[in-house]
Structure 1
C-alpha cells in the first residue's frame, strides 16, 4: 500500500535529505467475460472485492459467477446486464432517521494511509443502525467505492439497506454506481455536482454532502428522509 523513498526536503530555508512514504500504484487490466474493458490504476488491496463492485456498479453484470486475478489482469465472469442504468424508484420504503445520520458522521474515520502519505481516498459502509461494516483506502475514490460495494455483495449484505460514506466529491458517476448496486444513501465530506443531484433526485437517492464536524447539507430527500 505504501513504500519508503528518499527525498530532498526544503523547509523554507534549507534543503535536507530524509525518507518519506508514498502510495503504491498498480495498473490492472480489467476484463468482463474475457473481453478487455479498460486499464485502471489502484492500490493493490481488496482486488476480488473491487472486481465484483466494479462489474456491478458500472452496470456490466447483473450477477457475478467468478473472479480470476492473475498478476495485473482481473477477469470477471457473470450474467451480462443489458440495461444502461438500473432504477431505484421501488425502494421508497427505506427510511433513515436524523440521529443515525449524525451517528455515522460522528464516527471517527482512521485513514492511516492517508495520514501517512496524503495520497489516499477512503470509502466505508454502514447499516441502517449506524454500525460500521467495512472501511477501505485506495488512491482512487471510485476504486474505494467499488471495493466496499464488492465487499458488501460478497458478504451477502442487502445494499438497499446500507449507507455509503466516502471522502470524495459526489459526481454523477458515483450516483450511477449507487443506483446500479442498489444503494439508497450517500454521505460525503465533499459536495455533489448538479448532475449528481439531478440523477439522485430522479432515483430516490438521499444525497448528503459537506458532512464535517457534525454538520452536513441535504441535497436530495429521495423519499428516504424521515422527518
Structure 2
C-alpha cells in the first residue's frame, strides 16, 4: 500500500477545534476522525512537518498525539522510517467485529421502553442514500460508520462512545482493503433502514436480531476481501 502523505487538505480548518488550549488529546481526536473518514489510508506515512504545520501545533504535542493513537492501534512507529497508519490483519478484523457485536447488540438490548430517540440514525440513513445516488461509495462507507456510531450513542454512555470511536476508526482501515466497495456497502443501506424502522416502531428484539445478522454478514464480506487480497499478492509475488 502507498506510503505517501495522504490527504492533509482540510486539517487547517480543523485547527479551530484546538481552541486556545492546544493538547495532544485534541490533536489525536482530529487525526482519529480523519482516519475514520478515510482521509489517511493504511500504510500512509504521517509527516510531522505537514500535519504540525496544518494544525499549528508543536512537534512534541504532535508526537504525543501519535503515541496516543499508536496505543489505540491506529498508528505504528517503524524504526528509522517514521509513523504510519496501521495495515490491519485478518485477525484484527475478526477482533473488531467481535467487539462490535458485544457492544452494539448490548446497546440495542438495553434500550428499555420505547419510543427511542433515533434522529441520528435516520440522518445517517439519509446520508447513505444521498451518497449512493451520487455513486460515492466512500461516502456510503462513511455514512455506514456514522449509523453505527449513532446506534452506540443510544446508550448515553461517554465511556462506550469513547471506546467505539477507536473501533470505528480501525474499521475504516479494514474497509480500505475492499476492491469493490459498492458490493460491500450497498446491501447495508437497506439493512440500516430495516434496523431504523424496527427501532422507530419499538421492536427492539427484532432490531437486535437484524443487527447481529448484519454484523455476521459484514464480517464475512470483509474477511473474504482480505483473503482475496492475500491470494492476489501470492499470485503476483507481492
Indicate the structure whose relative CO is greater, using CA pairs within 8 Å and at least 6 residues apart: 2
Greater share of helix: 2
TM bin, normalised by shorter chain, reads 0.3 to 0.5
Greater share of strand: 1
